[in-house]
Amino acid sequence: MATKRLSAGLVGVAALALATACGPVASGGSSADTGGSDDGAGGSRLTVFISGDTNLQDLWEQGLIPAYEEANPGVQVDVVLDLHGEHDQQTVAKLVTSTEAGDDPGFDLVDAGFVVASAAEAGVLLEVGPDVVSGLADVHDTILTAGKGVGIPYRASSVLLAYDSTVVAEPPQTLDDLLTWIEENPGQFAYNSPATGGSGGAFVTTVLDSYLSPEDQEALRTRYAEDVQEGWQPGFERLAELGPSMYQGGVYPNGNSQVLELLGSGSIAMAPVWSDQFITAVENGLISEDVHYTQITDPSFTGNASYLGIPRTSDNTEGAIDLANFVLSPEGQTIIAEQIAGYPVIPLEMLPEGIAETFADADPTALRPSYFSENTDDMNNMWDQLVP
């Protein structure tokens, strides 16, 4: 597989972060008042609900919404932010209650991983496909199918293998190659403890999966599969064997950011990193442009697409569909790629040459999902007990 140096012109953090301590807040800073879709001036009014960090709020308020409103005079799009998603469960409950009553839930488009997934299970989102949201015709079937008929994929991110090209001339291309490289280059590789960040979690998950059947891997991703977890034992033994070859003979950084700091200082030559955080680090000068990236295979690291959802009882379903189509358009996908380094979900040949070049090795159709949350919790606890 070809490797590529990421463009320093892309910025942002694309991985969805969830939670808030104060409840959903309208973009103007007031408590969320999500009434109807009529702005009282004869135009159309839409509300996008976001559960995430301020980077997602900026994506919508400084990128997608201004471009959409410019293309659609008379349309106003508001944002309601549940910062970090502490009220996700309340939002799902509101969607369920509104749907049962046939009432508008107060927002027309949802950008929130947990909310969309839970709302899909509850059956309160509009069923979508290319016949409803025309932009989905350009999205690969693999990503579209994962939306369970109601999720609208609009960006993706994954864990990649970053390496210092001044030290590593030919990076590993498979997991076996990577594990061999680690043992042949002691002290030059690091990953954070899995409970402290997804990049380390992806490395651990990938090693564990290499010892599991496809059926067991699928079980761990779709349900709480305690019966399958005994298959992790050889993977944990392999991870423990790698310990002496880790940074400083067995030091595991605390979080994704510490891994990036080690790469930036030249303390290590290789590490798993989140695509979005790596791009941000290059842009900020924390990481040298001599640090490149690749994606391993057999298996690859994990990643995920992020999905939008349209409440079934939204007062402005037509407007929400139109906005979703804009997000999936080349213009919308370019904004996402440039502002938060999100992987495009439409074919790269539809995008500007610079975007296509940057994401040439970042294939969202090849993303391996993470484990079901309860399995992830068990994995983290077992790693703490068996590996360091």
Determine if residue 266 is left, alpha or beta; phi over 0 gives left, psi from -120 to 50 gives alpha, anything else beta: left
Instruction: Give the residues of the chain that fall short of pLDDT 70.
Output: 1-43, 84, 361
Domains plus CATH for the chain?
Answer: 25-155+304-365 (3.40.190.10), 158-303+369-386 (3.40.190.10)
Please name every residue paired with 83 in a beta bridge, in sequence order, or none if there are none: 52
Q: What is the pLDDT of residue 28?
A: 41
Q: What is the pLDDT of residue 22?
A: 36
- Long-range pairs of 166-170 with CB within 8 A, sequence gap ≥ 24: 166/290, 167/269, 168/269, 168/270
Q: Where are the alpha helices (DSSP H) in 45-160?
A: 54-58, 65-71, 88-101, 113-122, 141-145
pLDDT digits (tens, 9 = 90+) for 218-231: 999 888 999 999 99
- Whole-structure pTM value: 0.69
pLDDT digits (tens, 9 = 90+) for 318-372: 999 999 999 999 999 999 999 888 889 999 999 999 998 888 767 777 778 888 8
Q: What is the pLDDT of residue 130?
A: 97
Please name every residue paired with 293 in a beta bridge, in sequence order, or none if there are none: 4, 162
